[in-house]
Structure 1
Amino acid sequence: MWNKLPQMVVLKSPGGSTWEVQLVRDNNNTLFFKDGWKEFAKAHNLKENDLLMFKYTRDSCFKVWVLSGRNLCEVAGSYFVKKSALEKNGAGENSQLKRKNTMVGSAMATGNKDNSELEDSDTERASARASRRKNRRNSTVLRNSGAEEKNRSTDDTLDRVPPSEADKERALQMANRNLTVESFIVVLKDSNVSQYYRLGIPAPWSRTYLTRKHQDMKLRANGKNWTVRFNAEPRYGGGVFISGWSNFAVDNLLQEFDVCLFKLVSQKDEPVIFDVSIYRAVPEAAHLPSYKTP
């Protein structure tokens, strides 16, 4: 696959902004980002020792997640970087990539099929989101490691429009206003609310307030309780919500870019208890209320 990568690729940040970056290969057959990388790094305020995760999603497109080098937690600000010139000009994959999409180390020109797959218009993105939400509506959520299955209908989510950058920023600011030393914030991404249903807890916070062991925890929101399984990660000091988190996410109609504030209520009793406040990225959707704990 790596031998077929073109000279120009697209890097997509968690918030959906895109950058066109040149991909070059040295004499040792090692790939590097060149032209355009400086702009990407500056927009995301990258620092030495930061960790970047790249997911190759299709021809010429990489999704990129930014983790802080200090604690290996995802950098929330990467969801709110400014729109790239690629998007502002309405060019992107449809223009410069088509002109420069010459294979690295090969004289073969890329076919029309490759170019067409690069098209990622607003209409297609909205359609993809609606399709994912529709699939989730018809899917089966597994409870307690597959012991119990329950179909859930989330018809309301089909009407939800994608949030604007201002909506995302507002939700994060509202959560930050209620942040205390005994609470932490998570900006939800797609993997938190679909497919794998996992939620990571920031390592510095976890090291300070939680016992480093696998355990059940209780989440409270909107007057209801959910039990989730917490898997500790001793190497980094953090942990992940696994089984049970999908029930919380589906029951509360959580969506990508919503912001959750977890407030520690009790760490002495078993299980550990969190009150969860939910700040919707699209609050005008009346059927998706924001929940704020007292």
Structure 2
Amino acid sequence: MEEQMANLRLTDFEFFKIILPGSSRTKLKLPDKFARELGDRELRDAKLQVAGAGRRLWDVKVFDDDVNGDVYLGRGWQEFARAHDLRDGHFLVFRYDGAAAFTVTVFDETMCRRNYRRGQHDPADSGSSSSSDGSDAATAVEGVGDVAASQFAVTLRQCNLGDKQAQYLNVPVEFQEAHGYAKREKVVLRMRGEPWTVRLKHSRRERGQRTAFRYGWHRFCVDNGLAVGDTCFFRVLREGDLRRGGGGDDHVLRVAVRKADGTTLE
């Protein structure tokens, strides 16, 4: 019963990692908070699956560093990283299922989610037929669904942190379309347990409408000490119902920040 409760607590536990220059290619350190949540439970074998890359599960060993107590993904991690072309600067979001499997969403140097076609980086699928039945196709789409469309990451530049009257942050087109930002007037950013209301600015571009965080974004950056080079991760915490009017005022995004010096705020 105690183990079942622990599994339930960790179900859908999420964290992110950034592949930093000079970091080890053979192992990946798991966040201390996640390791603490695991407690004394034995997690020696894990499964990794990339969102949108089919249903293959990759076997990875988990081990503790006897010197400092850190927990790592070890043997199998290098093969997983190579197969999915993971590089310095890539931003990885892990979702744990509470048992021993992680779903990994990859954001590349463009600050957008990397799309993996089924079989593109999956040797196990290389010999399969190009056709698939309806159930397989539906499963592949559902695998991308909630995780991929509900979050995005941005590394801050000077244009995001300039003069107060000129500060803005563009929302990725895929994300804004998935959540009806054309009809929204504002969003609530929640970080460290506190909310900040940010107005959205809509503009027409040659390739369609673009939405940006505008009024209130400056205050959010100042209050949280954000700087150029910090990476912000935004995830939908509450969708908000546009049908009720008011521009979907109850749309809430949870924000976590990886500072340029490697520390984390959330």
Which TM class, normalised by the smaller chain length?
0.3 to 0.5
The TM-score, its normalising length taken from structure 2, stands at 0.39
Q: Which has the larger radius of gyration?
A: 1
The TM-score, its normalising length taken from structure 1, stands at 0.36
Larger helix percent: 1
